[in-house]
Structures are given as C-alpha cells and as structure tokens.
C-alpha cells in the first residue's frame, strides 16, 4: 500500500524526538514528514513556525500558538485542530523584574510599563488572564510595550510597538520597563547574573498553588491541520492523537534513565512532579482540557482579540470532539 506523505512542523521538545527519530509517524495510511521549525534560531528547518503555517500554509500539519490559531479561525481561516497540546507553561515563571526594583507582587505593576513579545502571543494572553483571575489586576491598568508585530494583524490594540531589535533586558535594566513577560526569556533573565530576577519570590510554590486551584498546566500550543488535508484524510486527526500519545509514552521511558538529561537531578525532579501534579499534565482530548480552553477563550474576548467566544466545535475537527 502506498502511504500518503504528510508534512508536520514541530518544535524540538523531548516529546517530539520520537517523530524526528522515526519511531512514530508511519502507518499503513500515512507517513509523517517531520520538520524541526521553531520560533527562535537555530533550528534545522528555520523559524517562524506559526506564521509559516497560519499565514503561508507551508505545512500540512503544524504545532501552532493557541491564541493565534483561535484568532485565525475567528476570521474564517481554513484550518482545523487536533486536541493535542505539545507546549504547556505556567505564566508565573515568565514574569521578570530587576533586583533593584523591589517588586514582589503583580499589584505593584499597576500603572507601570510592561514588555511583552506581542499582545496576542499565547503567554501574553495567559499572563493577562492570570493577572485578572489570580491577582485582581486588570490588564488595562498596565502599559503594554510589545517587541514583535502581531502574528495575526489586529487594529486598535492598547500597545506601544517598540522598534525592531529592541533588547528587552536592557529595557528592564535602564528602567524603561518595570517588568517583562516572555515565553522564551532572554539569557540575561535566566542567568541570574545581570540584576534580573523572577517577580515571584517562590515561583514554584506559586505554580503549585495555581495547579491546586485549577487542576491544569495551561495550554500554549495545539496541532493545526489545513482543512483541505483533513478533508482528503479524515482519519488524520485521530491518527495524530494516537501518534502523539505513542511519542509521549516513549519520551516518558527516556526519563527512566537517571542520566538521560543534563540536569543531574532530572529523575528526582520528575518523580516529585508526578507526586505533586499527577500524571495527566500532558493529557490530550477535549474532556480533560475543556475548562482550560474555555477560560482561555473568555480571556481572548476580554482582551479584545476576538469578537465572541468560539465554541470548541468551531475549533476542533468533528472526528475528535468526543475525545
């Protein structure tokens, strides 16, 4: 039987290694052709994955930003989605301030300038929603400075667009901005050597409190399929869910080896994570992710990114709605 090739663009996460290594992705019906495409270089097949999929339709399937996908669908873009969520992050570790600022709580950011990658980036949407829901801070009470042009063009956003190549760490250090929220924090923020620290004093405890309250690790990305590909291969959404689950299972097996990763205590950390947060952090399907998704959509409406709350049936392929 001749297999149909299907291109898929993915980030180089551990759970995607089985795709790149050819351990999953081939069935009697289809053969996935994986491309390593990120948002920051270096990557084997370049960067700008979200734009190359949602704007240029370069791939049959791609891992894309949840917020950009929802905005694109709200405007009638010809894509559908699979409830597989390859990237998940808490917002709390992604807030940065300077050591000298004395800032310890989001309430102290009211009236101050905050740098974000872009207003509609999924981490930005989540962080603004968490400000309101967790900390009683209306995102409208902060002054938003953005580094990138918006992935999906939007007019009237309450932002100040910064010049190209602006260094966000420099903005913090020279006092132009009080805080930075960033899904891929710059080296200066992560190294601890440049006078920049995380906003929350005990960031992990703050994340654990969030999880205890809501029961999920927030979704950042999903898998999008071009409509015409899904029409030609109606079995593909279910196959993708199956393949991703197989890849995740293989990845979990990697961590049985205490020497698998560069972090010396990675196995101990993995065991502690399972004890604290359970084993469903990376669950696929709509049943276990409905609350997360509906809250995020509500936040997008509140932030004026979409005119109405889209139903999940408008976002996901009909064949996987009961998952």
List the chain pLDDT tens, one digit each, 323 residues. 689 999 999 999 999 999 999 999 999 999 999 999 999 899 999 999 999 999 999 999 999 999 999 999 999 999 999 999 999 999 999 999 999 999 999 999 999 999 999 999 999 999 999 999 999 999 999 999 999 999 998 888 999 999 989 999 999 999 999 999 999 998 888 988 889 999 999 999 999 999 999 999 999 999 999 999 999 999 999 999 999 999 999 999 999 999 999 999 999 999 999 999 998 899 999 999 999 999 999 999 999 999 999 999 999 999 999 99
- Report pLDDT for 192: 80
Q: What are the tokens at 269?
A: 């950390």
Task: Choose among 39, 24, 27: nearest CA to 253.
Answer: 24
pLDDT value for 56: 96
Q: Are strands 159-161 and 143-146 parallel, antiparallel or unpaired?
A: parallel
Neighbours of 69 (CB within 10 A): 26
Which residue matches tokens 């760490």?
169
Residues 199 and 276 in one domain: no
pTM for the full predicted model: 0.96
247 token code pair: 């890849």
Shared domain check, 173 and 114: yes
Rounded to 5 degrees, what angle do the CA atoms 160, 95, 129 make?
A: 70
Judgement on whether residues 209 and 127 belong to the same structural domain of the protein:
yes
Strands 30-36 and 196-198: unpaired
> Residue 323: what pLDDT?
97
Where residue 34 sits, what CATH number does that domain have?
3.40.190.10
Which of 174, 193, 214 is the endpoint of a domain?
A: 214
3-state secondary structure of 24: coil
Last residue of a domain, one of 165, 193, 214: 214
What the block records as the tokens of 272 is 């502690």
Which pair of structure tokens corresponds to residue 51? 């734009």
Domain boundary residue, one of 195, 214, 233: 214
Domain holding 288, by residue range, is: 4-88+219-320
Query: Total structural domains in the chain?
Result: 2
Strand pairing category for 143-146 and 113-116: parallel
* 3-state DSSP of 211-262: HHHHCCCCECEEEEEEHHHHHHCCCHHHHHHHHHHHHHHHHHHHCCCCCCCC
């Amino acid at each position: 039987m001749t297999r149909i090739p299907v291109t898929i663009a993915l980030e180089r996460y551990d759970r995607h290694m089985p795709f790149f290594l050819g351990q999953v992705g081939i069935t009697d019906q289809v053969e996935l052709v994986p491309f390593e495409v990120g948002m920051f270089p270096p990557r084997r097949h370049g960067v700008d994955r979200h734009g190359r999929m949602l704007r240029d339709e370069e791939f049959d399937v791609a891992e894309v930003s949840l917020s950009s996908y929802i905005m694109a669908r709200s405007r009638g873009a010809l894509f559908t989605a699979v409830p597989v969520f390859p990237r998940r992050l808490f917002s709390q570790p992604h807030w940065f301030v300077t050591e000298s600022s004395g800032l310890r709580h989001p309430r102290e950011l009211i009236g101050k300038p905050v740098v974000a990658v872009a207003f509609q980036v999924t981490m930005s949407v989540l962080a603004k929603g968490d400000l309101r829901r967790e900390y009683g801070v209306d995102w409208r009470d902060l002054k938003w400075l953005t580094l990138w042009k918006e992935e999906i063009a939007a007019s009237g956003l309450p932002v100040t667009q910064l010049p190209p190549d602006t260094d966000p760490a420099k903005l913090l250090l020279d006092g132009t901005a009080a805080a930075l929220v960033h899904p891929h924090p710059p080296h200066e923020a992560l190294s601890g050597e440049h006078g920049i620290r995380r906003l929350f004093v005990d960031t992990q405890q703050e994340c654990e409190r969030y999880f205890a309250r809501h029961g999920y690790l927030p979704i950042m990305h999903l898998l999008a399929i071009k409509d015409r590909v899904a029409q030609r291969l109606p079995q593909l959404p279910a196959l993708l869910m199956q393949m991703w689950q197989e890849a995740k299972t293989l990845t979990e097996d990697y961590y049985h080896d205490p020497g698998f990763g560069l972090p010396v205590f990675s196995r101990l950390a993995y065991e502690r994570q399972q004890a604290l947060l359970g084993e469903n952090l990376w669950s696929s399907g709509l049943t276990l992710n409905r609350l997360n998704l509906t809250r995020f959509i509500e936040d997008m409406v509140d932030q004026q990114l979409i005119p109405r709350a889209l139903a999940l049936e408008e976002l996901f392929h009909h064949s996987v709605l009961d998952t």
